[in-house]
Amino acid sequence: MSVTVLDRPRREARNAASQVTGAAAIHIKGLEKSFGSNRVLRGIDLDIPAGQFVAVIGKSGCGKSTLLRILMGLEEPTGGHLHFEAVDGDDTQPNTRIVFQEPRLLPWLSVAANVAVGLGEGVPHDLLRKETVSVLSEVQLSEKAGEWPSSLSGGQKQRVALARALVSRPGILALDEPLGALDALTRISMQELLNSVWRELGFTAVLVTHDVGEAVHLADRVVVLDEGRIVLDLAIPYPHPRPYGNPALAELEGQLLAAILGEARG
């Protein structure tokens, strides 16, 4: 189910970007995860087309990070199926990356060297330099390449973490409350940045956030989890980039909040 509403040239540009990035579709069927007797995920069914931006919201402890960790291969499900599909329709093992709430930078490496970590070992020096310069420019941090992480603001550190995730051109980018620790204004500028790199690079994005406004601003679709199940899967059918203060989006926020608080069900 694709829910993005784009005019044709922009849709074609996004599809082209998705092919270049190797964006993958995600197919989740009957996914279960238990920790001992704690049934955290209780039968998740979710199909995410390649290049879609999905936000996942829900109360603390409802299983959002667990779902992301399973997508990243960091956690084994206890039941159900998960597979990834390339744009040509074949099964694939996509390049997946994750950004956390804390930037997790290495303090003894420069900004550029922290970003280069995202490419792994054995990459020729020239290519490493070229890719690092290019991604630092995408996150608008070119002038900080030679600085230490300790000299950066919180928002700048998080942009380095985003660059480290993007430098290998992931097909799927998972984001676990990446803006949760930032002040309101920095958050807004980071939302704009995230939206612009996603439109430019075409990866499939899965964003966990506690901020319902952020979810409707950035995502094509918002999924609400409660007690390990999807209780609402809501399309946000507005073109990107979206202006703030759209009353139609505020109405969708209201629906999502009601679902989180359990008011949508009897």
Ligand X SMILES: Nc1ncnc2c1ncn2[C@@H]1O[C@H](COP(=O)(O)OP(=O)(O)OP(=O)(O)O)[C@@H](O)[C@H]1O
Binding site for ligand X (CB under 6 A): 35, 38, 40, 60-66
Least separation in angstroms between residue 65's CB and Mg ion is: 3
CB of 177 to ligand X, least distance (A): 7
For the CB of residue 92, give the shortest distance to Mg ion in the complex, in Å.
Answer: 27
> 111 vs 208, which CB is nearer to ligand X?
208
> Which of ligand X, Mg ion, none does residue 61 bind (CB under 5 to 8 Å by kind)?
ligand X
Partner whose binding site includes residue 22, from ligand X, Mg ion, none (CB under 5 to 8 Å by kind): none
Residue 150 contact partner, candidates ligand X, Mg ion, none, CB within 5 to 8 A by sort of partner: none
Q: Which residues bind Mg ion (CB under 5 A)?
A: 65
Question: Which of the choices Mg ion, ligand X, none does residue 40 contact, using the CB cut-off of 5 to 8 A by kind?
Answer: ligand X
Tell me the C-alpha distance between 44 and 173, whole Å: 20
Kindly list the distances between the CA atom of residue 3 and the CA atoms of 35, 86, 132, 204, 233, in Å, as whole numbers in the listed order. 34, 19, 33, 14, 11
Q: Which is nearer to ligand X, 23 or 40 (CB)?
A: 40
